[in-house]
Each structure stands twice: as structure tokens, then as C-alpha cells.
Amino acid sequence: MSIHPIETRYRTPDMANLFTEEAKLQGWLTVEAALAEAHAILGTFSKEIADEIRAKATIEKVKLTRVKQIEKEIQHDLMAMVRALTEVCSKEAGKYIHLGATSYDIEDTAMALQLSRAIDVLAKSVKEFLRVLTNQAEMHRDHACVGRTHGQHALPTTYGMRFAVWAAEFARHLDRLQAAKGRIAVGKMSGAVGTMASFQGKGRKIQQEVMRILKLTPVLIANQVVQRDRHAEVLCVLSLIAASCDKVARELRILQRNEIAETFEPFTQTQVGSSTMPQKRNPHKLERVCSLARVVKANSWVALENISLEDERDLTNSASERVIFGESFVILDYMISEIIRIVKNLEFNEKNIQRNLNLTGGAILAENIMVELVNRGIGRQDAHEILRQAAIASREENKSFKEVIAENNIILSKMTKEELDHLLDPRNYLGEAREQVDAVVEYLKKNYLS
């Protein structure tokens, strides 16, 4: 019977399969096989023994049920694997399994393989979302809408700009993932406190060979564990990605409010919004993304706490790491898959977008008029005050901003009403928004999406 929602609800198969108990066991066995091969290369024992250990180091031969049975007896999961592998090998090969290694030589090296693969899966998802955002930026290049700062109408912008800003952010996340992968894809084979004493003078060569076989980088130095700043960095990168998903989802939730109602997450014909209010169209998928982001971000704090282990190591990182890595990767990959579907199929209400553009009766174009008044000889501060007073009058007199400034003699002495109409058209005050979107789309397609 499942307990955690990622077992049944918040998961993608590609990511979840990396964190199953079977996958973890196979990771350990793979490292044990590489250790045996390295020993054989350096002459500790024969190649035939290493070949046998490799052939038996699979979850088809070493059953998870047997490992769990042994663990229940001896209370040590890694040693349970070692005993189970020894059982399926010949007596001669069994003598050499796990030779010279400590538990975390196996566990940390296997974790490096696991997290490297998880980063690859996650990077694929991030890249797909980047593609969706880039396509939306290109498609909505000319789609004017009201921009808001502090929750207030500010200036016209475009939906293309919004998507391009988000796309550039997720491109940076791809860079961060690759950098973090380079620092987590490391392994060790250095014994109980890192001195390599148990390898009897072959330690550095053993470590080098094992990592060559596994296509990992040997750590520069370690004690009993690979230092946890590496793992914390990975979790912090995941938290950054989760925070960006949260940001996109939050903005789209705001835009779905009844008072704004510009965009909507997909909603099927048979979907129910509320158990008691039939009219509701809740952005529950976006809210789910925001909710799960809190879990991923919180886990990064646990990873940071795990850095400060005592002396050559203690076990205070162990139990929490059984939770935070799988949970964070699985949840985040699910979040991205959700937000991809939402943004790809986002619905736009053009009527409401235009309504909101004109809601203040032209006040969002005050800056445009101010700049033009300066061009025509009025001081910048004087022009600013004229338009500030006009905005106040518009609110107090319940008139549109356009009506108020059309009655201002100073403004009318500098421009005609036709020129004023042109300045009050939101489509005429988008600056270089289109060109910026074009530049972002071109850059992302060339450097990330080719």
C-alpha cells in the first residue's frame, strides 16, 4: 500500500524509475562489479573472478527480497547487498566482493550515477518547456497587453515579452543543471576514513580505474563520504527551477482571476471546478505546481544542513537523503510536465485583454505623452506634474484619462487631438519589445534548441 503521493500521483515514469528500490540496488551492484574489475586489472585477483562478479551483479540474480531479508537480520542495507551478492557467486569469487571498500564508496558512487541520470532526464524536460516558451514568445510577438507593476497598470507590453523573459530564465536553468552535473558526477573508492589504507597501496589506482569504468570523475579527495556541498548544489538548482515554475504558474493564476480573465489553463468539457459551485473554473493545475514547488524548495534546506557532518562523517545525512533526492527530482519533473501542458494549451481571451488595455482610459500611456511633451519644449518635471494631476483628476472626476488631457490647454498647445490619439494607442508604445523577443528567440534557437 502506497504512502507518498509520488508513488501514485505526482510522478513521471522516466524520473520515478530512477529512484525505485530496484534501481538503487542495481546501482550498488554496478559499482561492486566495477570495483571487482578494477582489482582484476591491477592484479589483485583474476579476470575470471571479476567477470563472474559482474555477471552475477544484477537484480535478476541478486533479488531485492533476499537483500531485504538479510537486512532485517543484520540491520545494514549495504552489507545485506554484499552478502546477497556473495551468496549467488562461487566460493572463490565471493571471497573478493567489496574488497577494500567501505559502504559509502559504493553508495556515494552509485548515487553519482543516479543523480547524473536524473539530471539528464530533468534537463530534457526543462528543454521541452524552453521550447514551448520560445514558441509562445514567437507566436505572441505582437500581442499587446497591459503591463503591471506592484499589481497596478503600468505600461503596455506584449505577451511575447512575458514568454521571452520566462524562456531566458529556463535557458539559464539548463546551464545550471549542466554545471551541477559536472560536480555531482564524481565517485570515490577510498575506504573507511578516506586514507585508502585498505587497498594496500593500490587505492588511487583502484579509484581511478573504477571511475573510468563507470564514466565518472574521481574526487580530488574525500573522507568517508563525498562532501555534501555537491549534493546541496544539485538540490539548490532544483529549488531554483521549482521557484521559476512557481513564478510562471503564479502569474498565470493571477491572469485567470475573474477581474482580469486574460488567460486560462486548459479546462475540459467534463471537468468539475467545485463540488458545490458549478460555475467555478479554478486554476487548480497551476495551484498544484505552486504547492509542490514549496516541497522542492524546502528540501534544499535539508541538503544544506547535510553539509556539516562531524569529523570524517556521521549518519545525520543518511535518513534525510533517502527522502529528499527522489522526492525532489520526481516532484520537479512532474511539475514541469504539468506546466508544459498548461502553457502549450493556454487559452487567451482577446476581448478581456483589450478591455484591460483600455481600462484606465489611456492613463497607461502617460509616459508616452510626457516624453513627447519634453520633445516639444516642456521640461520633464513640468510634463510629469501635468500628467500626474491629470491622472488624479481622472480618478476623482470619474472621467477617462483621455478626456481629461484632451481639455488641458498646455497639452493642446503642443499637439493636435489626432496626434494625441496616436500617442494613446497602446500598440504605438511598445518600444523595442518585438525586437527584443526576436533576439531572444534567435539566441535560444541557436544555442539551446537546435
DSSP 370-434: HHHHHHTT--HHHHHHHHHHHHHHHHHTT--HHHHHTT-HHHHTTS-HHHHHHHT-GGG--TTHH
| Pairwise CA distance, residues 298 & 321, whole Å | 13
140 catalytically annotated = no
Residue with cell 551541477: 180
User: Helix 433-447 crosses helix 159-184 at what angle (to 10 degrees)?
Assistant: 30
| Pairwise CA distance, residues 243 & 246, whole Å | 5
| Pairwise CA distance, residues 188 & 382, whole Å | 69
Q: Considering 150, 153, 318, 450, which one is annotated as catalytic?
A: 150
| Pairwise CA distance, residues 144 & 147, whole Å | 9
Q: Considering 90, 274, 308, 413, which one is annotated as catalytic?
A: 274
150 catalytically annotated = yes
DSSP 187-208: E----SSSS-GGGTT-HHHHHH
Beta bridge partners of residue 264, listed in sequence order: 347
| Pairwise CA distance, residues 373 & 119, whole Å | 54
Closest CA to 218 of 78, 57, 105, 82: 105
| Pairwise CA distance, residues 321 & 303, whole Å | 8
Q: What does the block give as the cell for 142?
A: 505582437
Going by the DSSP 8-state scheme, the letter that residue 258 receives in this structure is: T
The HSE-up count of residue 10 (CA atoms within 13 Å, CB side) is 23
Going by the DSSP 8-state scheme, the letter that residue 318 receives in this structure is: H
| Pairwise CA distance, residues 365 & 383, whole Å | 13
Give the 3-state secondary structure of residue 147: strand
| Pairwise CA distance, residues 235 & 238, whole Å | 5
Q: Which residues are catalytic?
A: 150, 274
